[in-house]
Amino acid sequence: MSLDTAAEQAIAWMVRLRAGQPDAGQQAAFERWLEADPAHARAWQHLQQRLGAPYETLRRLDRSDSARDLLLQPGTSRRDLLRACAGLGLLGGGLWLAAGSRPGQALLADYHSGTGERRDVALNDGSRLFLNADSAVDVDFSANQRLLRLRHGELVIQAAADPARPLRVLTAQGEARALGTRFLVRQEPRATRVVVLEHAVRVSLDGGGALKLGEGQAALLHADSIEPLDDQQHRADWLQGRLSVLDEPLEAVIDALRPYRSGLIRVAPQVRQLRVQGVFPLDDSDRALSALGETLPISIERYGPWLTLVGPG
């Protein structure tokens, strides 16, 4: 069992046990998990050393059933919890920075950006690479190819002309090939979003299928299909520190703010599909959240830098 998996399970057990008074059966199940694999014991020890004090502080701030229930609902993502811990620098290297983990990938990538950080990189072929917050990319340029591998996050590339070596961006679903262009690529949980800002791009899937996109066009690359989209150019507004939203669900807006905040943001299922329109400041996520709270029937509760709960108003 990898340490990443053990870390996820350790965090799940910690939240479960500290949410209330565990009964004998739950405590026995925890002991069995702890003894089942040495990696479990190591993960638990690291977690208690690194996260125990902040978690106790958070727990003392609010002992209400509603806050605990929101955090412990089945939809709560352990990945979100791990991301929150990583953003706070609370997990040790052996526990968290495995090569397969998101922060581990970032540290191993050729270029990466941290929480709340956007980067502008001049590549050696004359291209310009822009990284949104919490993104990571590898650059593989040789005499025969120009290749970017987007590990996670979002980029905009201004591709320098080189007919012999068309610039390609690889993602989990396929690739986007520049046809003398400027375009955006975002790795989403189960798809790749490509938005053409100038000229044209050819997108293709690993399993076959391709589509040429012209300026102003966009597409989602799924595992087995390419979905054309309406105008998406506003999605590049993060280059100017803005989040422009045109009729998106609240859940998607919060996802766009996550790379700009440390800690966990929990959105209650009842409000995830509320529709949002507006322009929000990425570099002041607290102000963005306050603006959402003023325009939507939601409540926003903040518990230090560790946890923000978004629920019905």
Residue 38 near residue 7, CB atoms below 8 Å = no
- What is the pLDDT averaged over residues 84-112? 57
- Token pair 């690739």 is found at 175
Q: Please tell me the distance from the alpha carbon of residue 42 to that of residue 241, in angstroms, as a whole number.
A: 40
Residue 284 vs residue 64, higher pLDDT: 284
Taking CA atoms, 223 is separated from 192, 196, 211, 219, in Å, by 9, 20, 14, 13
Structure tokens that stand for 143 in this block: 């005499």
Nearest in space to 139 (alpha carbons), one of 150, 148, 151, 131: 148
Residue 18 vs residue 108, higher pLDDT: 108
pLDDT of residue 107: 62
pLDDT of residue 97: 45
pLDDT of residue 73: 47
pLDDT of residue 292: 96
- Phi, psi values for residue 178, rounded to 5°: -70, 135
Give yes or no for residue 28 having a pLDDT over 90. no
DSSP character for 80? Answer: H
Nearest in space to 221 (alpha carbons), one of 211, 230, 231: 211
Q: Please tell me the distance from the alpha carbon of residue 311 to that of residue 71, in angstroms, as a whole number.
A: 11
Q: What is the pLDDT of residues 148-194, one digit of tens each?
A: 999 999 999 999 999 899 999 999 999 999 998 899 999 998 999 99
Structural domains in the chain, CATH included, are: 3-106 (no CATH), 111-235 (2.60.120.1440), 241-312 (3.55.50.30)
Terminus-to-terminus CA distance in the chain, angstroms?
42
Q: What is the pLDDT of residues 221-254, one digit of tens each?
A: 999 999 999 889 999 999 999 999 999 999 999 9
Nearest in space to 269 (alpha carbons), one of 288, 254, 281, 280: 254
Q: Please tell me the distance from the alpha carbon of residue 196 to that of residue 248, in angstroms, as a whole number.
A: 20
Q: Please tell me the distance from the alpha carbon of residue 232 to that of residue 217, in angstroms, as a whole number.
A: 7
Residue 27 vs residue 185, higher pLDDT: 185
Residue 53 vs residue 245, higher pLDDT: 245
Q: Please tell me the distance from the alpha carbon of residue 138 to that of residue 109, in angstroms, as a whole number.
A: 5
Give yes or no for residue 285 having a pLDDT over 50. yes
Output the pTM of the full model: 0.72
Task: Find residue 186's DSSP bridge partners.
Answer: 154, 193
